[in-house]
Amino acid sequence: MNIAQFAVPKLAQGGIILLAVISVAIADVMLKKAADQGSLTNTLISPWLFIAIGLYLIQISFFTIAFIAGWKLSIIGALQTAIYALVVLAASVFLYHESLTRVQVIGTLLAFGGVVLINWP
């Protein structure tokens, strides 16, 4: 039996996408942490880089499952973009003390609004 034969409930689909997006967002934060090591050599041997690579592989696995099951690329792409923006913006504010402009906040809200509209029946 292959995975495409399984009916995956909407909540589970959302969970798989959420886990995939969180994996890649955290991987990007780990990649930034690895790059903060001061040189390319230090970055390439940093444990943060290897954690990032592992998380990227997890994200690829989740999306592969989604595509094999026949989920729509347009919806997955929109969800990924909106959730990714939220996670990375939160990480940049709380971990790196970067500030958000009003335009960035409005853009994030518009992205989520777009995801809602794309998924509207």
pLDDT tens digits, 16-55: 888 888 899 899 989 989 999 889 999 999 999 999 999 9
Report pLDDT for 9. 66
Based on its alpha-carbon atoms, the radius of gyration of the chain, rounded to whole angstroms, reads 17
Question: In this predicted structure, what is the pLDDT of residue 5?
Answer: 53
Identity (one letter) of the amino acid at 33? K
pLDDT score of 115 more than 60: yes
43 close to 34: Cβ distance less than 8 angstroms = yes
Environment class of residue 28 by beta-carbon count within 10 Å: exposed (0-12), middle (13-18) or buried (19+)?
middle
pTM over cut 0.75: no
